[in-house]
Structure 1
Amino acid sequence: MSRITITGTGVVSPAGWGVPALREFLAAGKPVEPEFLERTTAGGEVVRTPIAKVPALTDRSLLPKSPRLRRASSVGKFSAAAVLEALGQEKFDSVVRGELRLGVICSMMNGCVNYSNRFYGEVLADPKVASPILFPETVYNAPASHISAVTNSTAPNDTIIGDGAEFFIALDLAAEWLGRGDCDAVVIVAPEEADWLSAEALGYYDSRMLAAEGAAAVLLERDGDGPQLLAVPDGVSYALEPDRGKAFARLWSELDVDADALWVDGRNGVPRLDAAEESVHWSGPRVSTRKLLGEAMGASAAIQFVAAVDALEQGAADQAVVTSVGGNQGVGGCVLQRR
């Protein structure tokens, strides 16, 4: 029976561009320094919202060379950079030449908000000057479209929308594609970009939540040279179990985790929201990336996953578990095993 393995990872986060920057940041254990987004209300009031932003890109070689990315907003560029790192230049070129069939799955919650804000703002202000060039960038599947276009991929491409646990559904879908032979490899990318509306909206959950941006990508192949995706149990929907604590307990019982595994959890520092994951008695090593990097919505669980894979590859653990308690749909998780 074939194994689903993780053969590459990539990440763009408030820690910087690339997996090494994330590794160094998490090892330091110091929370990110927030910046501020500002907007002026109709009444003239200036609203300042803290946010964890991705540092400016200084090395253009981290992005694929393509005219398709010239007009892409941050979410598209974050995606492309994370995917290029996950693939590596050799596999990237192999996909472009048609030698490797690459499936693309984009998982997100908030999506292409910057250009949507700009385009619809122009429409409302004066429809005659609204830029049609911006419109294709307003739809959810823009980042996935860019990835397939830049890599010249004609394999399956899908964008799935959900909450902070949607990434695990993407993992399950990728395993299904690989199992059917629809493609040779699948890259999952989960991107989000900074926006005042979503940043302020998170504050309604709790004023201590720090909105963040970034993207993470994982490359999955059958029987590859990398950590194994050992288990991705079906997520527990709040439609079936509305109590988050009980929903998480059901998921946890299906994960079958070793006692000394590394747990990369989804806690963000807000007790009410962390309660479900806090309810598990755990004495093994534990990392909470959202406490340090902020809440990047659909990208956060993927960043957790990349951190777990990197820990396995660095020899910090033989097994890792990644979990996330979604905001409105359900909970999800997976178990990874070092090769």
Structure 2
Amino acid sequence: MKALTIGGVGVVSPAGWGLAALREFLARDEAVVPEFLERTTSAGDVIRTPMARVPALADRALLPKLARLRRASSVGKFAAAAALEALGPERKAEIEAGQLRLGVICSMMNGCVNYSNRFYGEVLADPAVASPILFPETVYNAPASHLSAMVQCTAPNDTIIGDGAEVFLALDLAAEWLERGDADAVLVVAPEEADWLSAEALGYYDRRILPGEGAAAVLLEKDGAGPRLAAVPDGVSYALEPDRTRALKRLWSQLSAVDDGFTVWADGRVGVPRLDAAEDSVPWCGPRISTRLMLGEAMGASAAIQLVAAVDALQQGVYRQAVVTSVGGNQGVGGCRLVAAE
């Protein structure tokens, strides 16, 4: 089996648009300042929910001039910006010239919610004025479709839906495509957008969880020059091991992570002891990156943002290895281990 490497990463987060913004934000070791989503109930009450929002896009060069993206909601634009950064201009040109077959996998939990709310809200209020142009943006596969159109992909395209650990299944699927020869490179993208319904739903888990949004992308290829994807164990399903601490312990043994001071752990803690108990139970003294504590809980995008932060830490030359884990909300525990490029 050839080594699977990460040839590029991209990210959009409450820290800003791009990897440099994320790196600078994490270096400050500060939590994001939340904004508030507001909605008015039928009784006239105003409900305000704190949210870690992605700042407005200042540099329009970060998004291509694509007709599809003009009508896309923020989840599609987040995905496109992260994907373009991960690909870089040279690979994008190779794909468009037919010299590189790119597969696309989108991994998400919440997905295309803003236009779904708007479209179905219009249907309920007055079916005659519901805009059919919005309907294609309500389906889960819309961001993946936009990405393939954006770079003229001819290799497989897929969208997988799950909980906050689903991106590791996407990595496993990408590895399968590469080993089978279905694609020369695979772009894994995990986007999510802010929405009052999902933000308020997170509050039912715990009011201390700060909802977030954003997207992260990683480009997988064989024998590239980037960090090596050393291990992506099968996720541990709660159907087989319902206790989250034991589920993480089982996954951890397969990751073969070494607490040697040169390995960084990008964990999925959110700042709620009950939800962080599984990862807090691991005896770890080495360096940690806890992006959710600083950027909020972005559902399907959070683990991918952790992954990008881990890759960037390796590329800075400080660490030799990185381990990334996520304790999913209702399906299972997932993770991976990365080794710095030689």
Give the TM-score band, short-chain normalised: over 0.9
TM-score with structure 2 setting the length? 0.98
What secondary structure sits across from 1:68 in the alignment? helix
Separation in 1, partners of 2:30, 2:62: 25
Gaps of 5+ in 2: none
What letter is aligned with 2:320? D
Separation in 2, partners of 1:124, 1:249: 47
Q: Does 1:241 align with 2:241?
A: yes
**Deviation string, structure 1 residues 22-41 (Cα, Å, up to 9, x no partner):** 00000100000000000000
| 1:65, distance to aligned residue in structure 2 (A) | 2.2
The residue number in structure 2 matching 1:305 is 307
The residue number in structure 2 matching 1:295 is 297
The residue number in structure 1 matching 2:123 is 123
| 1:96, distance to aligned residue in structure 2 (A) | 1.5
Separation in 2, partners of 1:316, 1:28: 17
**Deviation string, structure 1 residues 296-322 (Cα, Å, up to 9, x no partner):** 000000000000000000012000000
What letter is aligned with 2:26? L
The residue number in structure 2 matching 1:222 is 222
Separation in 2, partners of 1:14, 1:32: 7
The residue number in structure 2 matching 1:106 is 106
**Deviation string, structure 1 residues 273-328 (Cα, Å, up to 9, x no partner):** 00000000001111110000000000000000000000000012000000000000
What letter is aligned with 2:127? P
**Deviation string, structure 1 residues 222-260 (Cα, Å, up to 9, x no partner):** 000100000000100000011111111111111101222
What letter is aligned with 1:17? W
| 1:90, distance to aligned residue in structure 2 (A) | 1.2
The residue number in structure 2 matching 1:54 is 54
What secondary structure sits across from 1:331 in the alignment? strand
**Deviation string, structure 1 residues 61-97 (Cα, Å, up to 9, x no partner):** 1012211111000000000000000000111121112
Task: Report matched runs for 1:9-28 at 5 Å.
Answer: 9-28=9-28
- The number of residue pairs the alignment matches comes to 339
- Determine what percentage of the aligned residue pairs are the same residue: 76
Task: Report matched runs for 1:1-339 at 5 Å.
Answer: 1-260=1-260, 261-339=263-341
What letter is aligned with 1:328? N
What secondary structure sits across from 1:211 in the alignment? coil
Separation in 1, partners of 2:226, 2:154: 25
Separation in 1, partners of 2:318, 2:129: 55
What letter is aligned with 1:203? G
Q: CA RMSD in A?
A: 0.6
Separation in 2, partners of 1:57, 1:96: 26
TM-score with structure 1 setting the length? 0.99
Separation in 1, partners of 2:228, 2:255: 14
Gaps of 5+ in 1: none
Separation in 1, partners of 2:201, 2:253: 33
What secondary structure sits across from 1:212 in the alignment? coil
Separation in 1, partners of 2:318, 2:135: 45
**Deviation string, structure 1 residues 186-238 (Cα, Å, up to 9, x no partner):** 00000000000000000000000000000000000000010000000010000
**Deviation string, structure 1 residues 77-123 (Cα, Å, up to 9, x no partner):** 00000000000011112111211100000000000000000000000
What secondary structure sits across from 2:334 in the alignment? strand
What letter is aligned with 1:222? K
Separation in 1, partners of 2:291, 2:243: 24
What secondary structure sits across from 2:5 in the alignment? strand
What secondary structure sits across from 1:153 in the alignment? coil
What letter is aligned with 1:315? G
Separation in 1, partners of 2:155, 2:132: 28
Separation in 2, partners of 1:250, 1:312: 25
Separation in 2, partners of 1:316, 1:111: 35
| 1:270, distance to aligned residue in structure 2 (A) | 0.5
What letter is aligned with 1:20? A
